[in-house]
Amino acid sequence: MKSDPLFKANQIAHRGNYDGAIRILEPEVYRYYGSYTYNYLLGISYLYSRVYGMALTYLRLAREIKMREPSVLLGLAALYLNHGDTDRAVDLYLEVQELDEKNPIARKALKIIRRNPGPENMSTWIDSGKLHTLFPPLPKLQKNPGRIIAIAIGIVAVLGLSGGILAKTGVLPFFEKQNQRRALEGIELAKEDQDAPMQVDGSYRYVLTRNQVLDNYNEARRLFTTYRDEAARVNLNRILESNGPEPIKNKARLLISFMETPGFDTMRKLPPSDLFAYSVVIKEPAIYRDCHIIWRGMASNLSQEQTHTSFDFLVGYDTRHILDGIVRVDFDFAIPVNPERPVEILGRVIPILSESGLDIRIQGIALNQAGLLEQAQQP
């Protein structure tokens, strides 16, 4: 089975052949569009090859996908140090320490900066050829996924083992992760939960039968165990907005508390049906409460502060032909946005009341605004 380009590039980069890794990765730019691992590995390979301009480009792309990944922040900090922008480098090293208090590279870098105050001293230290000691590590070298899959297929063919047994042997870690979620205590409905009385007083967005409540919960639990949190959340929100029994609603809230905040990379692995379009969400904002979305468009009315970024998002207008709608996007941190270029956002749906009824805003989590975005739109 053909080796995966990412695995092969990482393998030879670990041998010190960074130029070889770059030659493998560069032609795969469209194949791995939006991949954190691709952008990080290519950026780090350029960094170790001392091609700092390209390293900055790809590490910035990686950061747009994972905003607070320590390895990316370390790579960018080293580039800022090399450029003489010590203040920005220090900010990133301190951010790394917030995320990983014992990070040895951040600790070492801050000590070096303290020992070499001023631009001239830092420039002398960099000219000594020691900057590479502050570079972040390459991604961990995993086993060749092609070989793992081949072994798995062989075991299934020969032994007829089920996915559950494969998980126990460690061949398919995805099944092992599923089992971990299935083993969570308290998410199964006890008999007393199922028999609890339906609520009859009050006003509810959805009036469901007992069987419908149970079906929604069981479906949500099934989706949750397969890491389809967004689809699971829709079913649970329907229960929370209904006349369902309070014990089942409490179980729904508990299940939601176990869900994880996704990144661009994990969202792209979901089935298309789990990637909710604006036109779908805006029809029933209540059941998409706190669901995560990836939408493309353009930013307008941009407001940027030290600890906050917000803009009106023109959903679907990245092609400048169709406008699906306009929604406010808020990030609880400063992030660079070019209103002249298409934007791809990862965010969380927040229903809000407006004059026309229930509307939405988006709580931003990450933003992708690469030059490749426009190219990817071309036929």
Same domain, 78 and 147: no
Residues 100-145 have pLDDT tens digits of 888 999 999 999 999 998 888 999 999 999 999 999 999 887 654 4
**What 3-state class would DSSP assign to 344?**
strand
Same domain, 274 and 368: yes
Same domain, 270 and 349: yes
Same domain, 250 and 224: yes
Same domain, 157 and 125: no
Nearest 5 degrees, angle CA 351-CA 63-CA 30?
95
Same domain, 60 and 127: yes
Cα separation of 348 and 292, whole Å? Answer: 4
Residues 340-369 have pLDDT tens digits of 999 999 999 999 988 878 899 999 998 887
Range of the domain at 243: 187-260
The one-letter code for the residue type at 269 is: K
What's the domain count of the chain? 4
In this structure, what CATH number is given to the domain that contains residue 52? 1.25.40.10
Residues 143-163 have pLDDT tens digits of 544 444 344 334 334 434 444
- Average pLDDT of the chain is 84
Contact indicator for 372, 29 with CB cutoff of 8 Å: yes
H or E element in which residue 217 lies: helix 210-225
Same domain, 116 and 201: no
DSSP string across 70-114: HHHHHHHHHHHHHHT-HHHHHHHHHHHHHH-TT-HHHHHHHHHHH
Same domain, 272 and 369: yes
In order of 10, 39, 48, 198, 303, the CA distances from 17 in angstroms are 10, 17, 10, 65, 44
Owner of token pair 């070298």: 141
Residues 241-286 have pLDDT tens digits of 999 999 999 999 989 988 888 888 889 999 999 999 999 999 999 9
Domain boundary among 116, 134, 152: 134
Same domain, 294 and 352: yes
Domain boundary among 134, 163, 196: 134
- The closest of 38, 52, 50 to 10, measured between CA atoms, is 38
Same domain, 27 and 128: yes
Domain boundary among 260, 279, 294: 260
Same domain, 313 and 241: no
Same domain, 249 and 294: no
Residues 235-248 have pLDDT tens digits of 999 999 999 999 99
Give the pLDDT confidence score for residue 371 in this predicted structure: 45
In order of 151, 175, 278, 347, the CA distances from 159 in angstroms are 12, 18, 46, 44
Q: Mean of the pLDDT values across residues 65-69? A: 83
Cα separation of 340 and 69, whole Å? Answer: 27
What is the C-alpha radius of gyration for the chain, rounded to an integer number of angstroms? 24
H or E element in which residue 304 lies: strand 292-304
3-state SS of 111-152 is HHHHHCCCHHHHHHHHHCCCHHHHCCCCCCCCCCHHHHHHHH
In order of 78, 133, 180, 286, the CA distances from 198 in angstroms are 60, 64, 31, 20
Cα separation of 76 and 378, whole Å? Answer: 30
Comparing 133 with 193, the larger pLDDT belongs to 133
User: Between the CA atoms of 286, 292, 297 and 303, what dihedral angle is there, to the nearest 10 degrees?
Assistant: 90
Contact indicator for 77, 105 with CB cutoff of 8 Å: no
In this structure, what CATH number is given to the domain that contains residue 319? 2.40.50.140
What DSSP designation does 347 have?
A: E
